[in-house]
């Protein structure tokens, strides 16, 4: 029987295979209880082009240490979009890593879209 993490990773494999065929940079999301992390990974999957997380020092001070909520996720969505555009990436495929498109993951995605990232 699979545990919770193995189930999530199993769900993520299908998405990653589909994104690999699209030949486009992917925006990956990982959420833990305390933090949320986002990275833009190149088409070939070899390089991280941009990353943002609530674990960064300046973000932590801005949020007052509360990195595990929807407001924090929205801030990270905005930051990752800005960093991706600075790295020359406009279009990405959204990789939610097997997490449900709900709550923090949804907030991050919507904030990134509003900040001008296309997916």
Domains of the chain: 4-114 (3.30.420.100)
Contact 65, 50 (CB under 8 A): no
pTM to 2 decimal places: 0.94
Contact 15, 100 (CB under 8 A): no
Task: Tell me what pLDDT residue 75 has.
Answer: 97
The phi, psi pair for 80, rounded to 5°, reads -70, -35
Query: Average pLDDT of the chain?
Result: 96
Task: Tell me what pLDDT residue 108 has.
Answer: 98
Task: Tell me what pLDDT residue 65 has.
Answer: 85
- Paired with 27 in beta bridges are 40, 94
CA–CA distance, 89 with 105 (Å, rounded to integer): 20
- pLDDT, one tens digit per residue, over 15-68 is 999 999 999 999 999 999 999 999 999 999 999 999 999 999 999 999 998 999
């Amino acid at each position: 029987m699979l545990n919770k993490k193995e189930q999530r990773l199993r769900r993520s494999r299908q998405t990653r295979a589909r994104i690999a065929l699209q030949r486009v940079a992917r925006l990956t999301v990982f959420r833990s209880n305390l933090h949320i992390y986002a990275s833009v990974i190149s088409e070939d999957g070899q390089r991280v082009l941009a990353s943002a997380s609530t674990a960064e020092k300046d973000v932590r001070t801005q949020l007052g240490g509360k990195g595990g909520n929807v407001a924090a996720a929205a801030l990270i969505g905005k930051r990752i979009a800005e960093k991706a555009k600075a790295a020359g990436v406009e279009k990405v495929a959204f990789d939610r890593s097997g997490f449900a498109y709900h709550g923090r993951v949804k907030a991050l995605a919507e904030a990134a879209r509003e900040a001008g990232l296309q997916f």
